Structure 1
Amino acid sequence: MPRLGFGTFRMPGGGCQPVVENALALGYRHIDTAEMYQNEEAVGAAIAAFGMAREDLHLTTKVWHENLKPQAMHRALDTSLGKLGVDYVDLYMVHWPSRDMDLGAVLDTLQGFLQEGSVRAIGVCNFNLAMLRAAIDDIGAPIACHQVEYHPFLDQSRMLAYLRGKGIPLVAYAPLAQGRAAADPVLQGIATRHGASAAQVALAWLLEQDGVAAIPKAQRRDSQQSNLDALNVKLDDEDRRAIAALPKHLRYVTPPFAPDWDA
């Protein structure tokens, strides 16, 4: 899984296709979508139009929290594969946990998809630490990664320590704090010293961390290229101290069905 991927949240409908085609043309090879994004068909059309070999692309999609019964999960995966126009996805994830889900049944179903070859790896998103421990330590599910909100204004040290101990990567969504990183004066000051942008500094900070990947979204081609160029930004200890001093309690993705993050 390439550490810098391309997110497609809030890109519904056919307008997503040219955006993803641009990303592929620039060199992105990790595309992240989901049943809930309502753009799997457009993502699939972009992949087909670009004409790349399927094995050269890492493709992720997700099942919505309302579809976590086994039969519903089967229907959801079949629908996603059909819309994407592929025989398998590289990573299939639980998008959000459900309060009434049977975690054992959910993970058994995901492992069934692994065995039949329709998915290459399974993962979860937005699990709190207690849920992760239940899935990995108690049930023993082969979780390949955990996707969760992570950016310079939100501490994920407890989650990272656990995942690193298991050798499981964390995939950061909303890595630019939904655009707020670009306007932060501390990040802007660091960026000025490096001839970069504040958004690039935020991404560089994430990507230099052991076991962290990121999936920023960008609709404009120049923003897509700018995010790729963040791979060339090298921070120093002074930069890291300044970022460490930023507020670390700011969570911006807080739907009513989110779990208790402190559990």
Structure 2
Amino acid sequence: MDDLPSPGLGTSGYDGHDECADSVRTALDLGYRHVDTAQMYDTEEAVGEALADSDVDREAVFVATKILPENLAHDDVLETGRASADRLGVDTIDLLYVHWPTDAYDAEDTLPAFDRLVDEGLVDHVGLSNFTPELLDEARDVLDAPVFAHQVECHPLLPQDDLREYAREDDHHLVAYGPFARGAVTDDETVTSVAEEQGLSVQEVLLAWQFSKGNVPIPKATGEDHLRSNLDARDVDLPREAIDRLDAIEERTRRFDPDHAPWN
């Protein structure tokens, strides 16, 4: 399995094109080498602008995007996947995900289009997002390309033990979106006490927990200090006792839970 730079930079929820482009440019300058976007986020053009403006060589940056659920019919995957590459300004998308296995998604119709884009050289790796183990099984049976990454919400209040074990067994990356659970996990008493005891920010603790699990988190960040702090969390070595306390949190919460999600 090829490496996937960690952490990545998530690009959902920015306040407009310029804020996203500026954040991506700053992140690349600081040393980020993995940028995650999606058709749904409407940030592909901003990411493409930042890539073009950056002094960092394009080949050094791992660029991931995702196909909208409504665009997952076979021919729409081909058409909109090529349009995503154009918006990103890249010849090859390093990682192309099925964003949600809903709406127009049908494994037998959708996934051969992803294989075709790989065969054409437009896509290097195929990813899946928000799948259940059963849907992962089905997708692996249909795809010719190996599953390179599975992206799901993951944090100590939703540790995704089954999917992390699946990723280990299948030798694919578990990419963790929402690593701060939209703020919910940053208020957890165990998390805040671990942060205080270790002299760290809550965000550093949460990212260090992700790295300890072998996950690839993709936090969104704005501002150089925030971006740098997330990157520096790679150097945090949480004690085993602290990790065990985080693992022992019993509360479970899912902050990205649309009605159409396959687990519903």
- TM-score normalised by the shorter chain: which range applies? over 0.9
Q: In structure 1, which of residues 213, 218, 221 is the aligned counterpart of residue 216 of structure 2?
A: 213
Q: In structure 2, which of residues 92, 101, 121 is the aligned counterpart of residue 97 of structure 1?
A: 101
Query: For this pair of structures, how many residues does the alignment match?
Result: 260
Which aligned segments of 4 or more residues in structure 1 are displaced greater than 3 angstroms? 137-141
Q: In structure 1, which of residues 161, 167, 186 is the aligned counterpart of residue 190 of structure 2?
A: 186
Q: CA deviation at 1:255?
A: 1.3
Q: CA deviation at 1:100?
A: 5.2
Q: What CA distance in whole angstroms lies between the structure 1 residues aligned with 2:143 and 2:76?
A: 21
Q: What CA distance in whole angstroms lies between the structure 2 residues aligned with 1:201 and 1:247?
A: 18
Which residue is 2:82 aligned to?
78
TM-score (norm 1): 0.94
Q: In structure 2, which of residues 138, 147, 152 is the aligned counterpart of residue 143 of structure 1?
A: 147
Q: What CA distance in whole angstroms lies between the structure 1 residues aligned with 2:83 and 2:17?
A: 16
| 1:59-74 → structure 2 map (5 Å cutoff) | 59-74=63-78
For residues 29 and 59 of structure 1, do their structure 2 counterparts lie closer, same or farther at Cα, with a shift above 3 Å needed?
same
Amino acid at match of 2:248: A
Q: CA deviation at 1:174?
A: 0.3
Whether 1:240 and 2:262 are equivalent positions in the alignment is no
Amino acid at match of 1:220: G
Q: What CA distance in whole angstroms lies between the structure 2 residues aligned with 1:7 and 1:160?
A: 20
Amino acid at match of 1:26: L
Does the CA contact (< 8 Å) of 2:194 and 2:242 recur in 1?
A: yes
Q: What CA distance in whole angstroms lies between the structure 2 residues aligned with 1:20 and 1:170?
A: 22
Which residue is 2:5 aligned to?
2
Does the CA contact (< 8 Å) of 2:9 and 2:34 recur in 1?
A: yes
Q: In structure 2, which of residues 36, 56, 76 is the aligned counterpart of residue 52 of structure 1?
A: 56
Structure 2: gaps (5+ residues): none
RMSD across aligned C-alpha pairs, in angstroms? 1.5
Instruction: Name the SS for the 1:190 alignment partner.
Output: helix
Q: CA deviation at 1:183?
A: 2.6
Q: CA deviation at 1:185?
A: 2.5
Whether 1:250 and 2:253 are equivalent positions in the alignment is yes
Structure 1: gaps (5+ residues): none
Does the CA contact (< 8 Å) of 2:111 and 2:142 recur in 1?
A: no
Instruction: Name the SS for the 2:17 alignment partner.
Output: coil
Q: What CA distance in whole angstroms lies between the structure 1 residues aligned with 2:144 and 2:263?
A: 22
For residues 100 and 117 of structure 1, do their structure 2 counterparts lie closer, same or farther at Cα, with a shift above 3 Å needed?
closer
For residues 82-124 of structure 1, what are the alpha-carbon distances to aligned partners after superposition, in whole Å with 9 as ceiling and x for unaligned?
1111111100001111155320221111011101100110111
Q: In structure 2, which of residues 219, 223, 232 is the aligned counterpart of residue 229 of structure 1?
A: 232
Does the CA contact (< 8 Å) of 2:7 and 2:34 recur in 1?
A: yes
Which residue is 1:155 aligned to?
159
Q: CA deviation at 1:143?
A: 0.9
Q: CA deviation at 1:219?
A: 1.1
Query: What's the % identity of the aligned pairs?
Result: 38
Which residue is 2:112 aligned to?
108
TM-score (norm 2): 0.94
Instruction: Name the SS for the 1:31 alignment partner.
Output: strand
Q: CA deviation at 1:164?
A: 0.8
Q: What CA distance in whole angstroms lies between the structure 2 residues aligned with 1:100 and 1:32?
A: 22
Whether 1:33 and 2:37 are equivalent positions in the alignment is yes
Does the CA contact (< 8 Å) of 1:206 and 1:214 recur in 2?
A: yes
Q: CA deviation at 1:49?
A: 0.8
| Greater displacement, 32-41 / 46-55 | 46-55
Does the CA contact (< 8 Å) of 1:154 and 1:247 recur in 2?
A: no
For residues 259 and 229 of structure 1, do their structure 2 counterparts lie closer, same or farther at Cα, with a shift above 3 Å needed?
same
